[in-house]
Amino acid sequence: MIYVNVDKKNELITSFTMDGHADFAERGSDLVCAGASSIAYGMINAISEAEGFDPVVEEDEGYLHYSVPAEFIKKEAVQILLTGMVNQLRSLAYSYPDHIKINSK
């Protein structure tokens, strides 16, 4: 199971963590893991490109943590991208409820 935790402060997304494996298929062939990873890394890269900085992530096998740099949290474009990411992950979780769970605090 992939667990996604989205942290918010004053309704603004400040960070997120993805942890675990979907176990939908063999590692390397798991479309749910690939989809979740693609969504998350795509948004991290989109934020970095839009705002002009290199992303800083914590990662290990089956683990990803991203914190939005403090000076970019209130930027509308950053929040739009993060909200889009959460909505895409929710769509994936809707289609594969036994393989990915989203928690937004």
Catalytic residues: 21, 33
**Contacts (Cβ under 8 Å, ≥6 apart) of 86:** 6, 13, 16, 102, 104
Classify residue 27 as exposed, middle or buried by CB count within 10 Å of its CB (0-12, 13-18, 19+).
exposed
| 52 token code pair | 């002009």
